[in-house]
Amino acid sequence: MRKSLVAGNWKMNCNAADGEALVSAIKVGLKSSVADVVLCPPFVYLPMVERVLRGSPVSLGAQNMSQHVGGAYTGELSAGMLLDVGCKYVILGHSERRAQCGESDAIVAEKVVAASKAGLLPILCIGELLAEREQGTTEAVISCQLDALLSSEAGLAALQSAVIAYEPVWAIGTGMTATPEQAQSVHAFIRQRIAMKDPSLAARIQLLYGGSVKGGNAEELFAQVDIDGGLIGGASLDAEEFLTICRAAT
């Protein structure tokens, strides 16, 4: 039995006051949860969110990190620094970073390996563009993104502690959620692809769906056999909506 996980990705939203009010409301509403829950605020608010979350079952995560351990990388943050401020998870390879910051499959794979080696749990994001889905290349795209890790010993070792979020790029922030059947079919494909290398990992790895998940569609998506929770963007900025999603993940 895999435990469900719901991760909130605040992206570059909130100021300190709004963020504190949001995390406080989530903490009060989530005294106990069947699912694991993680909040990923902007870097500068990690210490504040960590402080508010103390004593709650909700974990802390970051939205990105460097693949390097340390050194002359202005503006970057290492896995060690994220651990220092209480992070347990880190989102890596989000489609916005792939598109806006030029993060290739190879760079994302390096980051996943670095995070896992340091003791963070990577949330690896993968997913196809609308044009790729329309051309029928979804599975080929997903395969490339996964194979960047599955094809090396270090990558396969890193996946042992990772979570994978399938996020069709056309569904992120657009209100165009994948149907439960569309999402389930890609999740099943991901599990099969991993099973070709490591059947035991395929059976236990948590696979999240991300892309316009809301309180109203979460239950149906999470009921799919290969969907183990969600990576939530916009709806994680509204405490009631986010709590509804967390309660749908059993």
* Residues forming the active site: 94, 167
Closest CA to 67 of 44, 96, 87, 90: 90
229 binds ligand PEP (CB under 6 A): no
Residue with the CB atom nearest ligand PEP in the bound state: 233
Nearer to ligand PEP, 172 or 192 (CB): 172
The DSSP element (H or E) to which 201 belongs, if any, is helix 199-204
- Answer whether 177's CB lies under 8 Å from 227's CB: no
Give the residue, chosen from 234, 239, 242, 243, that forms a contact with ligand PEP under the rule CB under 6 A. Answer: 234
Q: Residue count at the site for ligand PEP (CB under 6 A)? A: 13
- Binding ligand PEP (rule: CB under 6 A), the pick from 210, 218, 243, 245 is 210
Q: Pick from 212, 226, 228, 246: which binds ligand PEP (CB under 6 A)?
A: 212
Q: Is 211 in the site for ligand PEP (CB under 6 A)?
A: yes
Return d(Cα 132, Cα 111) in angstroms, integer.
Answer: 25
Candidate residues 110, 128, 167, 228; the one interacting with ligand PEP per rule CB under 6 A: 167
Q: Which is nearer to ligand PEP, 11 or 191 (CB)?
A: 11
Task: Give the contacts of 26 (CB within 8 A, at least 6 positions apart).
Answer: 8, 37, 39, 58, 239, 242, 243
Smallest distance, Å, CB 42 to ligand PEP?
13
3-state SS assignment for residue 7: strand
The number of residues making up the chain comes to 250
- Minimum distance, C-beta of residue 210 to ligand PEP, in the bound complex (Å): 4
Please give, one letter per residue, the 3-state secondary structure of 35-102.
CEEEEECCHHHHHHHHHHHCCCCCEEEECCCCCCCCCCCCCCCCHHHHHHCCCCEEEECCHHHHHHCC
Q: 235 or 243: whose CB is closer to ligand PEP?
A: 235
Residues within the interface to ligand PEP (CB under 6 A): 9, 167, 172-173, 210-213, 231-235
